[in-house]
Amino acid sequence: MLDTVIFDFDGTLADTSGLVINSFQTVYKKFHGEEKPVDYISKFFGEPLRVTLEREFTQPLEEVMKEYREYQVSRFNDDVKLFNNAKEILQYLKSKNIKTAIVTSRMKFSVEQALHDFDIKKYFDVVIAIEDTKNHKPHPEPLWKAIDMLGTSPDKVLFVGDSKYDIECAINANATPVLVGWSIEIEELRNQYNIKHIIDDFSNIEKLIP
């Protein structure tokens, strides 16, 4: 029986796509002298930032990351919002004694600050960020670590995400993947992974919980 729902953060709980795209465009303009097509950047969603920047830029990594993060920090509170009914579903899950966690490729300080600012940190039993594991999504290690800390097992877990990294992480961990209907890759992911559960609104999660 399902007893746990684990969420990705970017693009799943919070609409960060515009901020992420603009952050990449900022560093592309500074270090490459031009922007990239949005479709090109969106393919990076869910990938650890360090991995992307190391591949995309020849400049010193810390210099590029500093520029990227400074832009994100300056714009986060204005540009990022929770998706509709995100807080409500978290309240519902807590009322049903369902365990909850975050598994994200964000830095710990960043996701912790965001959860605090959105007043939803209190709903999560565990937060696994990029620093917490050696391997990252789509490797199952981050999800397995959250599952172990929550004292449950993969067959009792829904993992809600928006990218191929989330879906593959869930599959690799033997948990049940749930794809959000606002994913920019929804049709591709639906067809490639034959996903059973796709939600158009967070309230749909109620139907998946016994």
- Positions marked active-site: 8
Q: Whose CA is closest to 46, among 133, 144, 136?
A: 136
Write the burial class of residue 144 (CB in 10 Å: 0-12 exposed, 13-18 middle, 19+ buried).
Answer: buried
And the tokens for 16? 């960060």
Phi-psi region of 8 (alpha: psi -120 to 50; beta: other; left: phi over 0): beta
